Amino acid sequence: MENLVVFSGSSNLPLARKVVENLGINLGEVELTRFKDGEIYVQIRENVRGKDVFFIQSTSRDANFHIMETLLATDALRRASARRINLVIPYFGYARQDRKDKPRVPISARVVADLMEKMGASRIITVDLHAGQIQGFFYIPVDHLTALPLFVDYFKNHKDIMVISPDAGGAQRAMEMAKRLSAPFAILFKRRKRANEAEIIQVVGDVERKRAIIIDDIVDTAGTLVKAAEAILRAGASEVYAAITHPVLSPPAVERIKNSPIKKLVVTNTIQLSREAQECGKIEVLDIAPLIGEAIIRVHQERSISELFR
């Protein structure tokens, strides 16, 4: 492990500290500051020449700031002659803009991928991409981890459960979770009016007297999630839980969850929660640091990542 170095950006330092604790090493020393006009300053404060470097940064609030910080750190590591620069991006920002769905719009996820690659990234490690095809935006290796085993372990002792996909795009994820839990699954059909706002059209599947678990990758303003929970209860479910990897939780999400019929929102710590979210009794956080730490070890030792999920 002597050639392994892990640095952290400013977006989720608690997660990075847990990762290195699992690895049994210390975080690398890096200076991250901001000038008064908003410019970012990055300096790697230790020797990385010939080292296998991992830089942990979720590109969440403020997404633009944390992406820029990541790009500058990557360039600094490349110029410092790191042997390999592995960007660990637990939450990959701009992933919801993965295609040209309207005239004259960018494919923003591809832009971010190009920037990271151009700056010198050797590999990307990420968790539950919003769209799996984003892996194809990179010409470098992408290790795509999933939080599904954490959710399966959390719900495995619950009775009369049913896994719900909030849309057709998430059906594969819901089917896999249902298979691991030996439970049935259902799907919601919705119509999106605009960003962060959707109308639930129909629940397809018999949820009568079931403990429903909505499985998804991102919860942002929670408007669609709350509407989904209400629709599932109207269809006859006894309780509704939600298992969602990335707790973006933009206002007024926490307030909506507090006032919703959702019994428990189970998330991971890919994104650092606000104080308001931490104090919400309905939100429970599962630690993804051991999974990320194991992935880092396997990449460093040139071992299989897929074996983690068999």
Question: Is the Cβ–Cβ distance between 134 and 148 less than 8 Å?
Answer: no
Burial 58-91 (b: 16+ CB within 10 A, else e): bbbbebebbbbbbbbbbebbbebebebbbbbbbb
* Candidates 18, 51, 190, 210; catalytic one: 190
Question: Is the Cβ–Cβ distance between 291 and 131 less than 8 Å?
Answer: no
Is residue 209 classed exposed, middle or buried when 0-12, 13-18 and 19+ CB atoms within 10 A define those classes? exposed
Active site residue 264: no
- Going by C-alpha positions, the residue among 221, 228, 142, 220 that lies closest to residue 186 is 228
Distance CA 253, CA 232 (A): 19
Kindly state the greatest CA–CA separation across the chain. Answer: 61
Ordered alpha helix ranges (H), 137-246: 148-155, 171-181, 223-234
Distance CA 55, CA 41 (A): 16
Residue 31 burial (CB count, 10 A): 9
Token pair of 272 as six digits:
């650092």
- Going by C-alpha positions, the residue among 2, 7, 10 that lies closest to residue 30 is 7
Distance CA 82, CA 307 (A): 28
Token pair of 188 as six digits:
């919601």
What are φ and ψ of residue 137, in 5° steps? -75, -15
Ordered alpha helix ranges (H), 120-200: 148-155, 171-181
Point out the residues that are catalytic. 190
